[in-house]
Amino acid sequence: MTAERVDAVVIGAGPNGLSAAITLAEAGRDVVVCEAADTPGGAVRTEELTQPGFAHDTFSAVYPAGAASPVFARWPLGEHGLEWVHPEVAMAHPLPDGSAVALHRDPEATAASLDAQAPGDGRGWLDLVGPLLSACPALRRTLLSGWLPVRGPVGLLARLGVGRVLELARTALAPATVLADERFAARGSRAWLLGSVHHGDVPADEAGSAMTGLYLQLLGHAVGWPSPRGGAQSLTNALVGYLQSLGGQVRTATRAEAVISCQGRVAGVHTADGQQLRADVVVADTTPQAVLALAGEQALGWRYARALRRYRFGPGTVKIDWALDGPVPWRAPEARGAGTVHVGGLPEEILQASHTVRQGALPAQPFLLAGQQSLADPSRAPQGGHTFWAYTRVPRGLDWSSGANAFLDAIEAQIERFAPGFADVARARHVLLPPDFAARNANLSEGDVGTGTLALDQVAFRPVPTLAPYRTPLAGLYLGSAATFPGPAVHGVCGRAAARFALAESRLRWW
């Protein structure tokens, strides 16, 4: 066993782990990030999954929260190769009649698309988002800040007044179906909102679901739904590049096996390849359950251990990446220029699919989140070719050793329904079933996109109900993954917030 002394160890090189490491390195700390996988990035990586020359984003691909992130905005990521590419249309939601509703950065253009479904739907949307867009900086400070956000809500009150803020809270906490019915006459317009809700895991007719849809559509207007040129990996490379320029190190193929503690304080990390990294600060970019396994119940205390065990994951995921000979032949013109496409049809079809998953079965017509980043970024595929992906939620705990093919056929049939001729352009495909996700990244339990459900009780209080969610009872050990506030998506806020807690406490200790 080799032993080494550093100031801080970060476990996991996902966007949150890298953000924690950068924050510590900027404060002059000597930081080592140990990453179990062969490459850094966590769920932010790009690989030639199908054929040479086709650069597929293995997991995440579209980053409204990344573009809005106050954390990424602080750092010179552009100097380390990050360039945001905006598709012509942020998102399109095709409908069975061949039309589609589009989310544009321009609210007026979006309103025109909604009005084409039913005159007046556009006005319904503009009346809702107009005041919110004027309060965007305060909203950003509320939803993309460490716990407990204070400046953001104060800014919201100053900008919108108490009445409007209460109205906003009521709207966000209600089921999305209520918001959709209030605002839109056409089923197509309602489907457009409900589709975005399903980036989260709460069905659109349950309390709290409106928040996700409203948040994503607002970000679409405020910053767009962009992706990094060249693929998600460019964002990871930029974070790693900046970290290295500050003197931080990333060690890949280095799985943390245990957190060492001594007299109620963290003392370092043991890795699976026999290294002992001694440090007074350890930040874990892991699931809550992994923190428990790494540090042990004795070090964390039974009460905290019990709370971590109660942390709940969301549904699993099935994802397919395709290499295409040409663009997806969507019937709706809006979908042909969209970076993200929501494939699921009318509101009742979307709800049916999510209820079926809730009941533990696979839907016959799954709701798909799909992306075609090579349309706006031709560097991702050989000339004339395109990359395309789609993923869908599935119940946890299913046996995938047989019967997966029928479900993969159902996914392709759903695409074919809105893009006849899709099978003719599909040249090769790569499939990730729920067990494949955690094999690549231990945080992705059955492919749970959110690193924990976004059910209302677990949105604010992640991973446990406390005012300091990044601290653990073991002094010097912090949790900074998407399992902490403000939760999933690629923005780095959780990691930075955990590192700031660590720095504040170490300064206090020194004092």
Ligand X SMILES: Cc1cc2nc3c(=O)[nH]c(=O)nc-3n(C[C@H](O)[C@H](O)[C@H](O)COP(=O)(O)OP(=O)(O)OC[C@H]3O[C@@H](n4cnc5c(N)ncnc54)[C@H](O)[C@@H]3O)c2cc1C
In the complex, which residues of this chain contact ligand X (CB under 6 A)? 11-17, 34-37, 42-44, 59-63, 65, 255-256, 285-286, 290, 317, 319, 391, 441-444, 447, 449, 451, 481-482, 488-490
Query: Which one, 168 or 432, has the nearer CB to ligand X?
Result: 432
**Min separation Cβ 481 and ligand X, Å:** 4
**Min separation Cβ 424 and ligand X, Å:** 26
Helix (H) or strand (E) holding 74: helix 70-74
The full 3-state SS of 434-481, as one line of letters, equals: HHHHHHHCCCCHHHCCCCCCCCHHHHCCCCCCCCCCCECCCECEEECC
**Min separation Cβ 447 and ligand X, Å:** 6
3-state secondary structure of 72: helix
**Min separation Cβ 49 and ligand X, Å:** 13
Query: Which one, 209 or 317, has the nearer CB to ligand X?
Result: 317
CB within 8 A of 365, min separation 6: which ones? Answer: 344, 345, 349, 352, 353, 410, 413, 414, 417
* Sign of the CA dihedral with 348 first, then 352, 353, and 357 last: positive
DSSP 202: S
**Min separation Cβ 281 and ligand X, Å:** 16
Helix (H) or strand (E) holding 323: strand 316-324
Query: Which one, 13 or 156, has the nearer CB to ligand X?
Result: 13
Query: Which one, 9 or 305, has the nearer CB to ligand X?
Result: 9
**Min separation Cβ 356 and ligand X, Å:** 20
Query: Which one, 16 or 356, has the nearer CB to ligand X?
Result: 16
Query: Which one, 58 or 99, has the nearer CB to ligand X?
Result: 58
DSSP 149: P
Query: Which one, 120 or 395, has the nearer CB to ligand X?
Result: 395
One-letter identity of residue 417 = R
State phi, psi for 5 to the nearest 5 degrees: -110, 130
One-letter identity of residue 165 = V
244-249, long-range: CB < 8 A, 24+ apart: 245/80, 246/22, 246/25, 246/26, 247/25, 247/30, 247/31, 248/21, 248/22, 248/24, 248/25, 248/31, 248/32, 248/33, 249/31, 249/32, 249/33
**Min separation Cβ 285 and ligand X, Å:** 5
**Min separation Cβ 8 and ligand X, Å:** 15
Q: Is 392 within 8 Å of 369 (Cβ atoms)?
A: yes
Query: Which one, 224 or 447, has the nearer CB to ligand X?
Result: 447
